[in-house]
Structure 1
Amino acid sequence: MYHAISTDDFTRSTVERLIRIAEEFRVSPRHILRARLQGTLVATLFYEPSTRTRLSFEAAVARLGGNVVGAENARENSSAKKGERLADVFRVVGAYADAIVIRHHENDEIAAALPYSPVPVINAGAGSGEHPTQSLLDLYTLWREFGRIDGLKVCMVGDLKYGRTVHSLLRLLTRFSGIRVTLVSPAELALPPSLHRELVDAGLELDVADDLDEALASTDVVYQTRIQRERITSELTAEDEEDFAILPRHLPILAPTARILHPLPRVNEIHLEVDGDERAAYFRQVQNGLYIRMALMDEILGGVLR
């Protein structure tokens, strides 16, 4: 059974295969796509708020001909409110659906409950831990924007401590060669030391920078992230946050071929005026998420029908 719980579940060849499938689906006639997962049923369980991830998974399944049942805000509006264990949720929901897509507020609960699921489980974000399918769409975006992933210089900016999208993307970048990453964040939101060591041991080149302007001048990719105020305990002022925001004045600093990515939602960390620049790729990134998740769901659920 093929789960997608962690970036550990994806090799370089898996990522490249999913990118090829996503590219095929992008140009395939809709009536052909709708036949691929016809008759399947996917359950989406979101214990934390979501817009892009939930809707893109549901749209992916629908575009492939499958059906979706779901629970939004499941932390408050399901039996979780009564204390039901996630293992029991998997047993129950797995009796109804062919696969489960879940976002959870705890880092490790999905993995702990996984042995109890009778159907494939896809991690749609777990606490401040991982968000593996976001990293898939991030890599797909890099491939579409640059025609390659190897050899890119990436600048990670913002909340690197709690940003699960950052954690997953950095782990998947270790599958590729010649990647150099510069980390720029408030001191209290730096990358966790244990993850920093893990990435270095895996061969990723990591630098830490204090000067955002200097880091932007020498990068191919800016991966900007939101300060996750719902997870932090320290007080960051608006002025503190602006020190790590992408503003119109930064655009002349960036190389003409550079790209700005953001997993969204965006608050104040990228100025609205930046959106009109061709190097702002974050809304193209959103669209890429639909196709890469279509590819993933086809891979996972294909065995149900074929």
Structure 2
Amino acid sequence: MTAHYHILGAKQFNRTELEELFDSAARMEDRETWNTDPRFAGKIMTTLFFESSTRTRLSFESAMSRLGGKVIGTENAAQFSSTIKGETLEDTIRIVSGYSDIIVLRHTDIGAAERAAKVADVPIINAGDGAGEHPTQALLDLYSIRKECGRIDGLTIAMIGDLTYGRTVHSLSYMLANFQNIKLLFVSPENVGIPSYVKHYLEEQGVAYSETENFEDALQSAEVLYQTRIQKERFPSIEEYRKAEGRYIINRDILSRMRKDSIILHPLPRAGEIAPEVDEDPRAAYFRQAQNGLYIRMALVEKCLTF
């Protein structure tokens, strides 16, 4: 089987690779170059999503189209694929590999992307695997931090909300270990704290972190507030969800107590944890962050298809 460049997890990237991707993403922001590269003419991307998505799926599909390729796929593969007939993920990937040049996979199971990569004849991009990882989201998060703050080294970054099931937090934490003098502040209810395996990795890499339930601890210390949704669909019971629901909400009052040089990020969608009144504040960077997803994913598709 031919070797391919897969995007499977955040730990696969070193700093040099990250900087190269960020430079490529910056190049992709030049709209005059869209649809002009003959390397992608006739190339086909399959988006295979077993879990719901708006931003990730559409930004990947837009990325492929902007590069000059084509897209096929399904937004509800759990219902509208042969999986409902009992077909394994591995067999699905073997078949779809014959139809396309690259596969973007979102799945409910942790480790699904790695399973797919073992049998695929084309590059696999992990677009989220259950409560595991979301490496392309972490890449656009880092790219956004660099654009908004002018640097990544030396920042204090507060991650707020559902840190147990929040795969974006896991991937971003892993990637931040590539940078110098980073401080991470994990702010969460007790029942959705950052997992021990993430903390263990940070300790191995020498990354400073602390944990708290107090939102106020982040407001004056962090240059980046990375707010996340309390993911009702991932909790084992409604009782556990209610313990965490509505604990941390960024509103006008919170804005008044934040650092003037800080930014607010959110992987989206939001579900009440950032009030609409915050949107007009220049520190609210989450819509700019979502737009950056297009550029990062264009850079990733380019890398995978030209490896």
TM-score under structure 1 length normalisation? 0.95
Q: Closer, same or farther in 2 for the Cα pair 1:203/1:31, shift >3 Å?
A: closer
Q: Per-residue displacement from partner, 1:231-260 (whole Å, max 9, x unpaired)?
A: 102425779533212121110111111000
Stretch deviating more after TM superposition (235-244 or 98-107): 235-244
1:8 deviation in Å? 2.3
Query: Match for 1:135 among 127, 135, 138?
Result: 138
Partner of 2:161: 158
Code of the aligned partner of 2:192? L
| Cα distance in 2 between the residues matched to 1:284 and 1:302 | 28
Matching of residues 119-198 of structure 1 within 5 Å: 119-198=122-201
| Cα distance in 2 between the residues matched to 1:110 and 1:122 | 7
Partner of 1:273: 277
Q: Per-residue displacement from partner, 1:152-177 (whole Å, max 9, x unpaired)?
A: 10000000000000000000000111
Q: Closer, same or farther in 2 for the Cα pair 1:68/1:154, shift >3 Å?
A: same
| Cα distance in 1 between the residues matched to 2:175 and 2:231 | 22
Residue 100 (1) aligns with residue 106 (2): no
| Cα distance in 1 between the residues matched to 2:212 and 2:169 | 16
| Aligned residues with identical type, % of pairs | 47
Query: Match for 1:241 among 241, 245, 266?
Result: 245
Contact 1:241–1:269, Cα closer than 8 Å, also in 2: no
Matching of residues 1-306 of structure 1 within 5 Å: 1-30=4-33, 33-234=36-237, 235=239, 240-303=244-307
Contact 1:37–1:302, Cα closer than 8 Å, also in 2: no
| Cα distance in 2 between the residues matched to 1:4 and 1:60 | 15
Q: Per-residue displacement from partner, 1:102-152 (whole Å, max 9, x unpaired)?
A: 000000122123211011100000000000000000000001001111111
Stretch deviating more after TM superposition (35-44 or 118-127): 35-44
| Cα distance in 1 between the residues matched to 2:169 and 2:236 | 20
SS at match of 1:123: strand
SS at match of 1:68: strand
1:72 deviation in Å? 1.3
C-alpha RMSD of matched pairs (Å): 1.5
Contact 2:35–2:68, Cα closer than 8 Å, also in 1: no
Contact 2:21–2:300, Cα closer than 8 Å, also in 1: yes
Code of the aligned partner of 1:289? G
Code of the aligned partner of 2:72? V
| Cα distance in 1 between the residues matched to 2:184 and 2:57 | 29
1:69 deviation in Å? 0.4
SS at match of 1:252: helix
| Cα distance in 2 between the residues matched to 1:93 and 1:21 | 28
| Cα distance in 1 between the residues matched to 2:32 and 2:115 | 40
Code of the aligned partner of 1:20? D
Contact 1:5–1:132, Cα closer than 8 Å, also in 2: yes
| Cα distance in 2 between the residues matched to 1:179 and 1:9 | 19
| Cα distance in 2 between the residues matched to 1:197 and 1:30 | 43
Which consecutive residues of structure 1, in runs of 5 or more, have no partner in the other structure? none
Which consecutive residues of structure 2, in runs of 5 or more, have no partner in the other structure? none
Contact 1:158–1:185, Cα closer than 8 Å, also in 2: yes
Q: Per-residue displacement from partner, 1:205-241 (whole Å, max 9, x unpaired)?
A: 1101221022211110000000111010242577953
| Cα distance in 2 between the residues matched to 1:27 and 1:109 | 34
SS at match of 1:251: helix
